[in-house]
A and B are shown apart, each in its own frame.
Chain A
């Protein structure tokens, strides 16, 4: 239930322009025991539920500079409020990129993307923010600023603290600076799309892929209404159940070879139809593969992805599914948007269905009414392995529990 209004219970909003100012905001809040809610692009303020404790909004919009761009060394150091679109504009003239796909690059900020460890279809070939964050600075729940990681790709001595902060949802520290590893932009891209009439057919297609020596950048399987979404493709044929999107990047010659190799290989398979779309505008470098506004993200082992998709597809009418089948991530959009139906689907269908697969699941945008019907366990799942250590880490970095309360498994909303 995505909401466009700011759901946070804020008594005031601060907009610091330096790390020092940001630390001061946190120190003051800590002294009063007031929650601090970091705000990047404002696209995930209801992630996992809406916080209830009134607090201070901490906008990162004032910390949005590019601090150092060492193009020859393939690194860039930025402040967290810089949007991904602004970063792309900085890197493109040098033929470089940060290969992280997001749905709203004009709004989503580097800090927010890092805090959520966001990644899109190119994750399969290129990795996540944890692979690209070489080092960072952050302010902890006591208002103390510290550094983690370094400036060079090889790990510098010390713990991988930057990996701990990335994906910690702003609950251990608020990132004030990030040094990112960047990559060269590929010369060209293409997407090969295969339409299948069953999940078993999708499965056999996937199993065959490694034999082809094609190394895709993205490997997505879409089923349900979302699979019919693109005008350029038209709807699936009658009997079509899912579409596999294989994203390919490289030099012109490499991509041409990969497209041809797949075309030949797919002749052996029960594919109802196949298409290739070429060119940088429409491939994985475009954002249309992220069109699914996901309600829920599910993680299982890669090998179980298609089977689970089949079960979810059968259990939920008109559900839309988009999976990174190489990494075992399924994103899902429910058809029935009524809060009670939504809550029922989460609690009575999704949780039990993923459980035999050892799946982990987060409800991304539950919305007010729906969240009220769900427990933290419904929203975040049972306590994960190692949660005692995570609790201990949280207590040390944020003893007062003021950083983004409610935004994690320690749901003290």
Chain B
């Protein structure tokens, strides 16, 4: 590979200090939060404008080198690791909030702006960016669009893909295209297909994000259950009753213990499962919603259903929830975070199956579920130093995917598809479906320069 000339070219585009090339410098970008991949990129570049991103892409194409975009590196399933070398383009320097346009209900941001940064800017405006996913604080908005991260509010406000009304994208040929923010009925929904494309169709450099009115009197209920399955059944009943909480977070005892240990939220340690439910709406309707939800939870044996007492308690509860995954380190040195979704009516059955899978493979599994959108995150705990454990965890993970499919759902990609799941894609999709997706990818990136191997394991990149 003709590296030095490419490095010189990259340095010309972004400046010498914005190109990392030495092995020791790029090593940290070989890693990702779940420590799935350990592949070192050939160079890491920090552009500060879309024009620079375009130059980088063009230069890499000329020298036959793959390119991969990276935000803050929070995408869990190996989303931010360059397969087989190549150049990693880190967008975090492009972190300006360009405009908060309330009359148009939009925030215009560079891709490297973090959700926390935007939330701070929107405080007191009466508006929020609803998706607010769990990378909150660290993850970049460009990354969230690319992985279609959903988080809270999915049930009520729609999925992550619906919230970018405009995107500026650098395509594989180095062209810069602005889609939106004016809607175009004559166009295919390229915005919709770019969202959740894991950087394989283009590199997002700017986003026009739809803002929604901040709820004035949100209310959080905490329901304590004596079994995970009864909590899951309660979720199904709440949805079937036509109630639409904006958030329903389900945490099992194993994860609760770690969270309590870390943050002392006041979660009862003997609870088998806790359901945190946030409801919104005009104040006059909240009491009725609370009553109905409370009744449904109690029918499923909830031992208590309490509204949270104050704003601070509510914020603390959400803080514990958002940082729950970070506490897993207290439980085991390594973990595999699964990403699945099933219809609500099958949630309880799925938890039962997963318990059996864990027992069969001798792997401890704890649970976090974003139940409002039917998304589940079984977390498999193991110690990588014991290769047999690691092997059993991998086997259990595959069986969990089969269980999701058996329950009418599948593997999701709230954290991005990345390397880990790309190899499993053919299990979910037939050959014609894969062909259709390859057609889309080929239209955007005929040669395959961007995020090679990430979303669809193409033949030359399977490894």
Contacts and interface: CB of A to CB of B under 8 A. Distances in A.
Contacts of A387: 187
A389 interface: yes
Given A71-B240, A161-B193, A385-B179, A146 B344 contact: no
B437 A158 contact: yes
- Name the residue among A72, A140, A183, A397 with the largest chain B CB count within 10 angstroms: A72
B104 A393 contact: no
Nearest to B213: A210
Nearest to B289: A251
Interface in B427-447: 428-430, 432-433, 435-437, 439-444, 446
Contact of B285 (A153, A253, A357, A393): A253
Contacts of B408: 151-152
A158 B409 contact: no
A10 interface: no
A389 B444 contact: yes
Query: Which 7 A/B pairs are nearest by Cβ-Cβ distance?
Result: A184-B242, A163-B192, A392-B443, A72-B240, A396-B439, A154-B341, A73-B343
B387 interface: no
Given A155-B412, A167-B185, A160 B436 contact: no
B104 A303 contact: yes
A158 B341 CA distance: 14
- Name the residue among B370, B425, B440 with the largest chain A CB count within 10 angstroms: B440
Interface stretch (A82-90, A101-109, A284-292, A358-366): A358-366
B66 to A, nearest CB: 19
B395 interface: no
Contacts of A257: 282-285
B70 interface: no
Contacts of A147: 429-430, 432-433
26 contacts: A72-B239, A131-B158, A145-B432, A146-B432, A152-B412, A155-B196, A159-B201, A159-B440, A160-B189, A161-B436, A161-B440, A163-B161, A163-B193, A164-B193, A185-B242, A253-B288, A256-B284, A257-B283, A299-B185, A301-B182, A362-B185, A390-B187, A390-B188, A392-B443, A393-B188, A393-B439
B189 A166 contact: yes
A157 B412 contact: yes
A254 B284 contact: yes
A408 B281 CA distance: 41
B440 A393 contact: yes
Interface in A393-413: 393, 395-397, 408-409
Interface in B376-434: 408-414, 417, 421, 424-425, 428-430, 432-433
Given A152-B341, A396-B443, 6 more contacts: A140-B436, A156-B409, A159-B455, A250-B281, A301-B181, A389-B444
Contact of B436 (A148, A185, A327): A148
A267 interface: no
Nearest to A379: B186
B290 to A, nearest CB: 13
Interface string B171-184: 10001011101111
B103 to A, nearest CB: 4
Interface string A365-394: 000000000000000110011111110110
Interface string B242-285: 11100000000000000000000000000000000000011111
A269 B284 CA distance: 25
Nearest to B184: A360
Interface stretch (B27-35, B147-155, B310-318): B147-155
A130 B192 contact: yes
- Name the residue among B192, B240, B411 with the largest chain A CB count within 10 angstroms: B192
A70 B345 contact: yes
A163 B196 CA distance: 11
Interface of A: 48, 70-75, 95-96, 117, 127, 130-131, 140, 144-148, 150-161, 163-164, 166-168, 172, 183-185, 207, 210, 213-215, 250-251, 253-254, 256-258, 297, 299-303, 327-329, 357-360, 362, 380-381, 384-390, 392-393, 395-397, 408-409
B71 interface: no
Nearest to B343: A73
Contacts of B373: 153-154
B170 to A, nearest CB: 12
B443 A393 contact: yes
Contacts of A297: 185
B77 to A, nearest CB: 10
Contacts of A362: 185-186
Given A71-B240, A393-B188, A385 B341 contact: no
Contact of B103 (A303, A380, A393): A303
B437 A157 contact: no
A389 B177 CA distance: 10
Given A72-B344, A253-B285, A301-B104, A384 B184 contact: yes
B122 interface: no
B51 interface: no
Given A160-B193, A160-B196, A299-B184, A153 B444 contact: no
Contact of B411 (A140, A156, A167, A329): A156
Contacts of A172: 188
Contacts of B435: 144, 146
- Name the residue among A152, A299, A380, A385 with the largest chain B CB count within 10 angstroms: A152
B353 interface: no
Nearest to A362: B185
A134 to B, nearest CB: 10
Contact of B185 (A72, A117, A150): A117
Contacts of B411: 156-157
A209 to B, nearest CB: 10
A296 B152 CA distance: 38
B226 to A, nearest CB: 23
Given A72-B240, A253-B288, A153 B155 contact: yes
Contacts of B425: 157-158
B374 interface: yes
Contacts of A393: 188, 439-440, 443
A303 B182 CA distance: 11
Contacts of A395: 443
B429 A158 contact: yes
Contact of A160 (B187, B195, B236): B195
B104 A253 contact: no
Contacts of B437: 158-159, 161
Contacts of A148: 433, 436
